[in-house]
Every structure is written in structure tokens, then in C-alpha cells.
């Protein structure tokens, strides 16, 4: 089994991490990569507000983390295969969960979960809580990640967040110097140039898109973005992110004549795996 990329989205509160996670996952899935998205924030469970129509099918990440033992079959059972998005599965806390809903889990359990996830999907995306130290899974994801996208917004609140938080992540295990800073939700009139200079190392930004705000408000983040200047610029930002985590080959828009191996959707793949683990019994 090969370790597949573990990508972490982290940064200041309300900076667009969850929205960008969904859009990046969709872009990867459109290239027929099987993507498992782990929403590690228990403060505001996200899955129910992204795919409200599947809320009754969802099982909780919290429950999975506190099982007595963890096997790949459990990971598959708790992951929500998305209807209409055959290469995408979500794993996160359920609507109504809170920090005390489940028993505590150990660091080893968080490592096991992420390791199993990397053996399961082509790409694992972890949408982290800003307040990482409150969530062990977020902390461990930051340590194990191949790529960390670090979200900043062009405002003083984001600067204050980093002034407080960066010292906590200065430990070598977080490889902070390798994280990729992004200016996110950049609004017209905001001085992104000055903020870029202050933050340093900004290679691209994700602009504010009115329709995206509307999608988030109306629990429609799985909808595609209509064309338009801002939406196009946002998609370019997402493509840039994708280019940093997958090979050139995957960047090519998918064609119908793909290889047989690539045709397997994550749903069929999940079912196939489960079937083989049950000894061939349906
Ligand atoms: N590019 C964008 N265009 C328009 N609105 C955006 C954009 N990015 C973020 N927003 C706005 O910011 C809000 C927060 O976005 P999101 O939930 O993705 O942030 P977050 O960083 O995950 O927040 P949290 O820290 O609470 O997890 C959205 O509901 C939306 O209103
Ligand atoms: Mg979020």
C-alpha cells in the first residue's frame, strides 16, 4: 500500500478554509482522483451544511476516533460517499456533536486514522480547526502533512491570530517554513499587496466571490461556480493549489476514454473493499 498525499488546510478563523477545501476536493475529483475529505473541527460540524440532503446517512468522525480499535473497514464505513460526486467521500463530525460527545482519543489513534486514510484514497484533504491545539487530529494532521495551505485574510484579525498562533507552531515537527501561505477571501478595496508583503511568500490568492458566499449561506457549496471574473480567478487559485499537490498528468481535464483502473468511482471502490473484507459475502 502506498502513502497518498495528505493535504492540510489551516489558518485564521473564518478565512475560507472549508470553502476552499470543498472546491479543491471537487477539482481533484473532476480529475478522477478518489478524494477523502476529513473535517476535523468539532466546534461547528461542517458536513451537514455542505451536503444537508445526506445528513441522515452521516456517521460521526468523533465516534470513529473513539472506537476500541480502528481498521480500514471502519474508516470506509464511517466515510460518507457523496451522491452525484462519485470520487468524493466526507468524514466529519455530525450535526449536534460537541467536544464532549465522545470519549477522548489518543495521539496514536489520530496517527492511525490519517495513515489508514492515506492508504484508502488517492488524496486526503484535512480541513483543520484554526484552534488546532483544541483538536488532536488537527495537530497531528499538521505534523504529518505533505502540504499545508496556510490561510490568511487581509485584515487585522488575521494578523492578530498569527501573532498569537505562530509561536505555538514554531516546533520543528510542524515544518512551518514549508507551509504555503494564501491570501483568502480578498475583497475589492483590500490592500492585498501590503498584506502579501507583511505575510511574505504569498504566491497566489483566492478572491471574494459573491456567489460563493451565497453558496455557503444556502448550503449549496457542492454546486459549481458560474462563470464570471471573480469566480474564474477563484478557480485559477484552486487550480494553482492542485498543481502543487498532484502531478501534471492529473491536471489535464478528464477525457471519457480513461483507463479501466481510473473508472472505479470511490463509491464502487468502497463497496468493493467492504465486500472483499467480508470474505466475498455481499
Ligand atoms: N472566497 C470567498 N468568497 C466569498 N465569501 C467567502 C470566501 N471565502 C470565505 N468566504 C466567507 O467566509 C465565510 C467563512 O468561510 P469558511 O467557513 O470556508 O471559513 P473557515 O476558515 O472554514 O471558517 P472556520 O474558522 O469557522 O472553520 C463563508 O461563509 C463566506 O461567507
Ligand atoms: Mg471551517
Across all residues in the chain, what is the average pLDDT? 89
Measure 204 CA to ligand 1 centroid, in angstroms: 17
Q: Which of 127, 153, 185, 218 has most ligand 1 atoms within 8 Å of CB, for mutation?
A: 185
For ligand 1, whether the C-beta of 138 sits within 6 Å is: no
Q: Is residue 157 part of a domain?
A: yes
For ligand 1, whether the C-beta of 209 sits within 6 Å is: yes
In this structure, of 17-31, 225-239, 261-275, the range with the lowest mean pLDDT score is 261-275
For ligand 1, whether the C-beta of 41 sits within 6 Å is: yes
Q: Is residue 124 part of a domain?
A: yes
Over the stretch 178-202, which tens digit does the pLDDT of each residue have? 999 999 999 999 999 999 999 999 9
Closest by CA position to 216, among listed 180, 192, 185, 182: 185
The band of 277, judged by pLDDT with boundaries at 50, 70 and 90, is very low
Q: Which atom of ligand 1 is nearest to the CA of 41?
A: 27
Over the stretch 255-266, which tens digit does the pLDDT of each residue have? 433 333 444 455
Q: Where in the sequence is the domain holding 30, given as residue range(s)?
A: 6-277
Q: Which atom of ligand 1 is nearest to the CA of 210?
A: 4
- For strands 88-92 and 35-39, give the pairing: parallel
Q: Is residue 174 part of a domain?
A: yes
Contact 75, 65 (CB under 8 A): no
Q: What share of the chain is helix, strand, coil (3-state, %, to 5)?
A: 50, 15, 40
For ligand 1, whether the C-beta of 75 sits within 6 Å is: no
Please tell me the predicted confidence (pLDDT) of residue 85: 92
Q: Is residue 282 part of a domain?
A: no
Which residues make up the environment of ion ligand 2, defined by Cβ < 5 Å?
Answer: 17-18
In this structure, of 48-52, 54-58, 172-176, 278-282, the range with the lowest mean pLDDT score is 278-282
pLDDT of 162 above 50: yes
Measure 281 CA to ligand 1 centroid, in angstroms: 44
| CATH number (domain holding residue 224) | 3.40.50.300
Q: Is residue 139 part of a domain?
A: yes
Q: Is residue 1 part of a domain?
A: no
* Integer Cα distance of 117 and 277 in angstroms: 16
Place of cell 476536493: 25
Please tell me the predicted confidence (pLDDT) of residue 204: 87
Residues 49-61, mean pLDDT to the nearest whole number: 96
Say what percent of the chain tops pLDDT 70.
87
Find the Cα–Cα–Cα–Cα dihedral 96, 145, 85, 255, rounded to 10°: 170
Please tell me the predicted confidence (pLDDT) of residue 168: 86
Over the stretch 208-251, which tens digit does the pLDDT of each residue have? 999 999 999 999 999 999 889 999 999 999 999 999 998 765 55
pLDDT of 38 above 70: yes
pLDDT of 2 above 70: no
Q: What residues form DSSP beta bridges with 150? A: 10, 181
Ligand nearest to the CA of 14: 1
Q: Is residue 194 part of a domain?
A: yes
Q: Is residue 144 part of a domain?
A: yes
The band of 155, judged by pLDDT with boundaries at 50, 70 and 90, is very high
Please tell me the predicted confidence (pLDDT) of residue 254: 45
Please tell me the predicted confidence (pLDDT) of residue 259: 39
Measure 103 CA to ligand 1 centroid, in angstroms: 30
User: Nearest C-alpha to atom 23 of ligand 1 is from which residue?
Assistant: 14
Please tell me the predicted confidence (pLDDT) of residue 268: 60
**Comparison of pLDDT for 112 and 248, the residue scoring more:** 112
Helix segments in the chain, DSSP class H: 17-30, 47-50, 61-65, 72-78, 107-120, 136-144, 156-165, 192-199, 210-217, 229-245, 248-251, 260-263, 266-277
For ligand 1, whether the C-beta of 12 sits within 6 Å is: no
Number of domains in the chain: 1
Over the stretch 126-143, which tens digit does the pLDDT of each residue have? 999 998 877 899 999 999
Q: Which atom of ligand 1 is nearest to the CA of 15?
A: 21
Q: Which atom of ligand 1 is nearest to the CA of 206?
A: 1
Please tell me the predicted confidence (pLDDT) of residue 173: 93
Amino acid at each position: 500500500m502506498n502513502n497518498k498525499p495528505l493535504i492540510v488546510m489551516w489558518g485564521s478563523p473564518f478565512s475560507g478554509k472549508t470553502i476552499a477545501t470543498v472546491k479543491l476536493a471537487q477539482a481533484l475529483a473532476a480529475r478522477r482522483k478518489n478524494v477523502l475529505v476529513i473535517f476535523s473541527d468539532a466546534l461547528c460540524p461542517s458536513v451537514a451544511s455542505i451536503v444537508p440532503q445526506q445528513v441522515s446517512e452521516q456517521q460521526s468522525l468523533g465516534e470513529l476516533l473513539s472506537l476500541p480499535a480502528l481498521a480500514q473497514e471502519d474508516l470506509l464505513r464511517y466515510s460518507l460517499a457523496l451522491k452525484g460526486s462519485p470520487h468524493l467521500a466526507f468524514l466529519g463530525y455530525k450535526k449536534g456533536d460537541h467536544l464532549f460527545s465522545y470519549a477522548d482519543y489518543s495521539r496514536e489513534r489520530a496517527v492511525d486514522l490519517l495513515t489508514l486514510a492515506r492508504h484508502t484514497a488517492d488524496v486526503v484533504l484535512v480541513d483543520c480547526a484554526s484552534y488546532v491545539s483544541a483538536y488532536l487530529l488537527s495537530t497531528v494532521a499538521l505534523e504529518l502533512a505533505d502540504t499545508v495551505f496556510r490561510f490568511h485574510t487581509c485584515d487585522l484579525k488575521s494578523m492578530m491570530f498569527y501573532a498569537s498562533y505562530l509561536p505555538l507552531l514554531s516546533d520543528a515537527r510542524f515544518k512551518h517554513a514549508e507551509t504555503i501561505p494564501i491570501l483568502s477571501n480578498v475583497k475589492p478595496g483590500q490592500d492585498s499587496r501590503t498584506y502579501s508583503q507583511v505575510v511574505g511568500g504569498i504566491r497566489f490568492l483566492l478572491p471574494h466571490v459573491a456567489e460563493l458566499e451565497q453558496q455557503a449561506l444556502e448550503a449549496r457549496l457542492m454546486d459549481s461556480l458560474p462563470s464570471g471574473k471573480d469566480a474564474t480567478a477563484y478557480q485559477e487559485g484552486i487550480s494553482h493549489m492542485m498543481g502543487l499537490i498532484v502531478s501534471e498528468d492529473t491536471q489535464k481535464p478528464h477525457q471519457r476514454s480513461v483507463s479501466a483502473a481510473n473508472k472505479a468511482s470511490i463509491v464502487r471502490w468502497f463497496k468493493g473493499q467492504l465486500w472483499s473484507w467480508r470474505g466475498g459475502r455481499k
